[in-house]
Structure 1
């Protein structure tokens, strides 16, 4: 059976849904095909520990989507379909041995006061770096929301030069090209403050000594302070569900449980897709693939359709290290040694120090289970109390970084080289580490569920090797080089076929930017074909 549409989107992650939504609003007939039983990709939630405990399975902080242009464009529609957010005013903290901590509040004065109590030079450095953020963040966020390269991106650079000159632009470039270790050493005096900055780089794949790692911490340190941390009320799954509902309202179609195994081409152009069930959907104007470049060029396209050079480049697309996810149902808040107030923070980073982060990254890249992995402890029910029964809590722990393929254990105590063999022992290591900073916390755990890197890829094939960011963000694979050199701008090597998702600029994060910009590219190309 064949159905015909103006555009077909392969993959119902949030970027695929957003791209379809913009096309539908422009009057196009659009179908989104999703292999899983529900849309959302890495934005999902469920009761995976005990009944009544709703956990975000993968991503949890939806601040980027809440602040996105896509949300602004469709906020009323999304709210009408049940999408609501909860935002906490205690964004993040770091804990250290001896019951010490560093805390960043929504209240800047309170944050600066607590930093000054820790160390006057750290407070001075935080204030100075905040001034740099306030000066340059409008241009960074403007660039972040523009296609790269594009006239819009050039306008951001020209505006930067006009207002701050070559000296100001050079100052910004110098900061952005730093590693996170360098950023900390330039601006902060103590190991604790330096670790606070470096932890944000590990959310991506920026170990402390990788050039270009400073951009993400520069933005996250202060954007989270200014805006707080936001989660979807009742569970992350309500975000993609609302997008799908609004798309349907605009006349689009969403089909789940439909796996695409081929992009159909004719006369050198993408003209539709074929499902594993034999069904075919014709795309009169565009096919948009919300997948990684390797999947697109090596699996979804026939071998002879892809230029040899492109196939080779796609095979070298680099993925970052893996992630282990732990979901905890608790009988009470975590009893942090640094004080009860810590249980109110959306994120608590447990590193503890920069050298620990560097060692962890090196171990995971060598295929070893790390001795002291970074724990990003998301206290979801502190932000959204609807997630758990009264007096009880859900905690989300993203463990960074992990080997995608296990070759051994850096500590020499865990035996096995397959994730199903080692996941329980690695979970125990993580919980033991947590116990050192939240004594007696393990006694409050009613149930724990672990998702290994292998589990993450099984749930979402875009998370190759359990890479939660869908591809390395190192400089050689970022900006105009994302996903590959010469393949920016959401077009692919096949006319009529476009790419969206975290593998394209601006990369990981639930910002919806890639979906919006991909749709804009499709609409511009369609207008150009009409005029010619």
Structure 2
């Protein structure tokens, strides 16, 4: 519930980016209210006992590496820890399982990883080493760009640093790699179809089928960042992350109201001045309204049509969402019995594709509205990383099933006749478990509880996941970098003064990186500071002196990469 009031800023949506934006503003001395439609904060960072009591599952996202490496965690980590946020990390980050008991395994130990690759194929080992060298050369610049607003002077500095250290030849080499599809990346660097699939599976975590240009960036970063850092989950459940953010926000004077659904952004004289909730209560925002939603929701639902320029409204209608995701949560009375050996049960992720052509077919089928024959299984073995998630000797398994049709038009295998998700979820779950059983014989006999979430369920839980798109908007080149969320609308300002957009729809996109929330707060603080200076200058009262107390905290020290 919420009550009418006046604040410096009102944030719509209590996902982690909305909470982070509010936290930075509160630390700068602003009064801030976060309004969340659900009963709890967190958005796609949630957990619960959804199979059996004592089995704690991460419902949506699970790997929290990018949050751990974020500027936000560097700034607030000790405060978050005081409120119970702790992580468990495995040095067995990820693997791929293949037919006939074969597997590829990536350890945090680089030499061990290269050794097991070399035992199977020397060309794969050489390719992995060569690609890792390229990662080590360019990752500082890529992560620096990833943590900067686009466009911005900080982003330009990252590009100039790249040129200074590696020259035009190095920049050309990196650009060539980043524009590749994941199939091209694998074919360039690896010899066997197993190693090529290892790279391509990472692209499917977003919406990059193997033949989509620009898909190589995510595998290039994720393959080696996860190798170096391991895979991390929140101790006791992912929901503790947003809960800790909300607690630190409260310590800084901010407010969080759950069960408070905003249905209108209020404007006066062309400027955002507050919000109205579905129960009729209004909140005034003296300085800024920040919306943690997608462009269609902002420009077509939260604003009156006459407040939105026609061209902006048209472009927002064209904001693209990727294919859907299905989630399957298993409670087991023992670890998964992988045919590739018991060690595989200790890895954070196991990808089950098996090969690049299978991924390509799955992506094409789901985009055509068909239930895929061989969906990718991203098998997250959560309790292998955090044993607190299940009773002793038992396990929780998190399976992200990529990719799925948002609306079912048929079945590529021709055996499932249902075209509504409530009817299709049971036979699709059976298909997934049949596939998993092939790679881990005996899995079904160990299952003691099952819960499945369809693409429709994902959107019902979080309206930003339109059609069950777990990354809240396509990351293809036409909707990424300078074009995120849409052409002519990069950055965090909107077409309405005083109204800002944050979250996965803005750069750098999906992932629990907290970058969008931090950069949105920084943009808000900068704009208010500049308005204040302009106002004082117009009144001929400008004098040199210390910056106001609401200056962005990042501006008080040298910039640092996320």
Question: What's the TM-score, normalizing by structure 1?
Answer: 1.00
CA distance in 1, matches of 2:67, 2:291: 20
CA distance in 1, matches of 2:30, 2:444: 53
Matched, 1:41 2:43: yes
Q: Deviations over 1:354-386 (max 9, x none)?
A: 000000000000000000000000000000000
CA distance in 2, matches of 1:442, 1:109: 36
Where in structure 2 are the equivalents of 1:183-198 lying within 5 Å? 183-198=185-200
Higher alpha-carbon deviation: 301-310 or 383-392: 301-310
Identify unmatched segments of 5+ residues in structure 1: none
CA distance in 1, matches of 2:357, 2:221: 22
- Number of residue pairs matched? 532
Aligned equivalent of 2:145: 143
CA distance in 2, matches of 1:194, 1:76: 40
Where in structure 2 are the equivalents of 1:191-270 lying within 5 Å? 191-270=193-272
Deviation at 1:205, TM superposition (A): 0.3
Q: Deviations over 1:245-269 (max 9, x none)?
A: 0000000000000000000000000
Where in structure 2 are the equivalents of 1:18-57 lying within 5 Å? 18-57=20-59
For 1:525, what is the secondary structure of its paired residue? helix
For 1:281, what is the secondary structure of its paired residue? strand
Deviation at 1:2, TM superposition (A): 3.1
Q: Deviations over 1:95-122 (max 9, x none)?
A: 1000000000000010000000110000
CA distance in 1, matches of 2:20, 2:4: 25
For 1:240, what is the secondary structure of its paired residue? helix
Q: Deviations over 1:143-180 (max 9, x none)?
A: 00000010000000001101110000000000000000
Where in structure 2 are the equivalents of 1:374-385 lying within 5 Å? 374-385=376-387
Where in structure 2 are the equivalents of 1:130-529 lying within 5 Å? 130-529=132-531
CA distance in 2, matches of 1:457, 1:62: 22
Deviation at 1:416, TM superposition (A): 1.2
For 2:100, what is the secondary structure of its paired residue? coil
CA distance in 1, matches of 2:85, 2:403: 32
CA distance in 1, matches of 2:444, 2:175: 45
4+ residue runs of structure 1 moved beyond 2 angstroms? none
Q: CA RMSD in A?
A: 0.4
CA distance in 1, matches of 2:248, 2:223: 33
CA distance in 1, matches of 2:311, 2:371: 35
CA distance in 1, matches of 2:467, 2:212: 21
CA distance in 2, matches of 1:14, 1:362: 32
Matched, 1:7 2:9: yes
For 2:441, what is the secondary structure of its paired residue? coil
Identify unmatched segments of 5+ residues in structure 2: 535-562
For 1:468, what is the secondary structure of its paired residue? coil
Deviation at 1:210, TM superposition (A): 0.5
